[in-house]
Structure 1
């Protein structure tokens, strides 16, 4: 049994990690699962990352690194975790994993359910080992539907959820959002689902199975914005929020760059009209009230965008700040690294890694009054904690030697100390 239990009444102790004592066995890889479990690890959960001795795919597809298998993407998805390398097809490895799970609170995987069942890792298999286990399966498609056995990656989900179809340029060509937005969005949902199950178990006891389907989750996420007039039966019009889909709804070009301006309330819109030298638009029937502005939003955006090309970004920022119109300069991926506000808040932490040299950790921005997430240790090398964890569940040294000799596990401590 683990130490995670109902806390005493009263305020949390200062400095106490909210998830201290929660043991999570993480069988996920790439982005969606690792992003979820990193959130849990940041707030005190002991996350044991199970990966094949060849390593999580994200180690190798995230760009170059000073030592192999430690890509930037991997570093930003796997801090504060321990790595246990296991080849589950080798003798003894599955027994080790099940022994580890017997003392865990949560198990996550993003295998297709049939593959998990073939390995003996179905929910039914693991509840026999730990009846009050929280078992979370991240799947591409809900298991009640006809797509249940299809594989899924972020780009697949972006396309099938409708997201790529609304992300078009002036040429009308659909495009993927150029980041793994579906994986990361669903990853947040996975972390939330696990925490709900943890609260359920603390209050009422018992185990829990969780299924988080990427297709359904991301489709609901997109359509909460864009089901729009098809929400009603019969439909009142087309799907898609025209205010967001209008071609003129974009960062505005200035004399020397781009900036982002949003005016929604009457006060903000009228102040913006004054700022661009068009106070007459206040009484223009197309823009005088919220409903008419919505119906003519493309024209309002066009007028705004043309006006902003006449001054520099700095000039507009001074004007709009005085007018209390929400606006900020548009950053690039490079310039945002130099933002002074982010320096003030310490988002980028300069870290000395034992093998990767200096790197920048992205601090978890969330703060609790009793606890602030911190980097306890950087993302691990493959199998960096294998021996430690195997000894911790009672595996004798001669058995560990046999697992190492067969390739069922690897000892990554040497790589971690280079």
Structure 2
């Protein structure tokens, strides 16, 4: 299942479930790592939460677990724990998404795993970091969105608190777990030292939200509230056109001057000439632009704006991504055959000149590789048969 991606030869023992951890290890698998997914007898819950070609192969699971090998182990049993310990010995990465107390109770905390394999990179995927009072709380994407202020920001934008239409906390935390694990692997390559890594969804999303929203609140004393006004302006939304909708950002001074020269709106006077002036009245600017965009068709606006290097795009549906000409031309989708039918996967969004990643296989059925991997462990554990010595001849 390996291929010559940048992580070819890396073995990952994956005890994650749902989306945060599996998304992290899915990217590792796409990049050539051998990801051994450890599942309980009932399987990862994500197998059952969306439509799929057969029971236990829901679409969300099939996407974030592609290219992995599934091994069913009952870690409440001595046999299951013994098999996991054998897998750890030769692994490069151990990653889990259990609570700290749960993984410790099973006997697979960092100290126990490092005793088996001192050079291993051990990644914890948590809801809340272990150092705080909320460390044992159950966390899901919705609750973390709420904790990090995202619905509050949406309320400023739309007038009503709400989640965004994607599981952003799971995915951002999964990518954070990926880069943190890769940094630890890079350190190990330079020094030989393994280490423990912790990635928490709440801390990750707090950092994510505060990239721009920290703003004036960062300073002592504060110079303003924690908010970046442009992105929560109520009129920041796709513009209605004569026949549809369009997204456009007439942002910097060069783009603004080009827009005003081409369209000549009566309201675009000197009081809007600079970015600083527009930033102070950004919601009014969005409202005026919104009125102007109603005067032409979507295609007319796209032609005009793009000819002047002003960012603009039609408002597409998610289904339209599967027929997007640009994505088709760059080979974004990869068709993979599987025992449950062909799957058209959204492929890796990165490109490497020497070690390209790609989807090395479909998501596995529950326990599809248990026998294969356990048998290989048994063969490896057998004492070598005695070879004849020269003196015996």
| 1:356-400 superposed Cα distances (whole Å, 9 cap, x missing partner) | x23211111211010221222100001111011001112699xxx
Work out the CA distance in 1 between the residues paired with 2:246 and 2:326.
17
Gaps of 5+ in 2: 382-393
Contact conserved, 1:26 with 1:107, CA < 8 A, in 2?
A: yes
Could you say what secondary structure the match of 1:210 adopts? Answer: strand
Structure 2 match to 1:40: 28
Contact conserved, 1:253 with 1:305, CA < 8 A, in 2?
A: yes
Could you say what secondary structure the match of 1:394 adopts? Answer: helix
Q: CA deviation at 1:170?
A: 6.7
Structure 1 match to 2:97: 110
Gaps of 5+ in 1: 1-14, 398-418
2:78 is the alignment partner of 1:91:
yes
Work out the CA distance in 2 between the residues paired with 1:396 and 1:40.
25
Contact conserved, 1:108 with 1:138, CA < 8 A, in 2?
A: yes
Residue range with higher mean Cα deviation, 153-162 or 339-348: 339-348
Structure 1 match to 2:19: 31
Structure 2 match to 1:284: 270
Could you say what secondary structure the match of 2:60 adopts? Answer: helix
Could you say what secondary structure the match of 1:321 adopts? Answer: helix
Could you say what secondary structure the match of 1:76 adopts? Answer: helix
2:1 is the alignment partner of 1:17:
no
Contact conserved, 1:276 with 1:308, CA < 8 A, in 2?
A: no
Work out the CA distance in 1 between the residues paired with 2:336 and 2:89.
35
Total equivalences in the alignment: 379
Contact conserved, 2:57 with 2:365, CA < 8 A, in 1?
A: yes
Structure 2 match to 1:330: 315
Work out the CA distance in 1 between the residues paired with 2:307 and 2:188.
52
Structure 2 match to 1:382: 366
2:339 is the alignment partner of 1:351:
no
Structure 1 match to 2:378: 394
Work out the CA distance in 2 between the residues paired with 1:205 and 1:349.
36
Contact conserved, 1:140 with 1:214, CA < 8 A, in 2?
A: yes
Q: For residues 228-377 of structure 1, what are the structure 2 equivalents within 5 Å?
A: 228-278=215-265, 281=268, 283-285=269-271, 287-355=272-340, 357-377=341-361
Could you say what secondary structure the match of 2:224 adopts? Answer: coil
Structure 2 match to 1:172: 159
Q: CA deviation at 1:179?
A: 1.4
Q: CA deviation at 1:337?
A: 2.2
Residue range with higher mean Cα deviation, 203-212 or 369-378: 369-378
Contact conserved, 1:182 with 1:214, CA < 8 A, in 2?
A: yes
Q: CA deviation at 1:136?
A: 0.6
Contact conserved, 1:74 with 1:379, CA < 8 A, in 2?
A: yes
Q: For residues 69-84 of structure 1, what are the structure 2 equivalents within 5 Å?
A: 69-84=56-71
2:139 is the alignment partner of 1:152:
yes
Q: CA deviation at 1:57?
A: 0.8
The TM-score, its normalising length taken from structure 2, stands at 0.93
Q: CA deviation at 1:95?
A: 0.6
* Alignment RMSD: 1.7
| 1:37-60 superposed Cα distances (whole Å, 9 cap, x missing partner) | 111111111110001121111111
Q: For residues 195-210 of structure 1, what are the structure 2 equivalents within 5 Å?
A: 195-210=182-197
The TM-score, its normalising length taken from structure 1, stands at 0.87
Structure 1 match to 2:124: 137
Work out the CA distance in 1 between the residues paired with 2:206 and 2:22.
21
Work out the CA distance in 2 between the residues paired with 1:94 and 1:368.
38
Work out the CA distance in 1 between the residues paired with 2:327 and 2:186.
33
Contact conserved, 2:158 with 2:234, CA < 8 A, in 1?
A: no
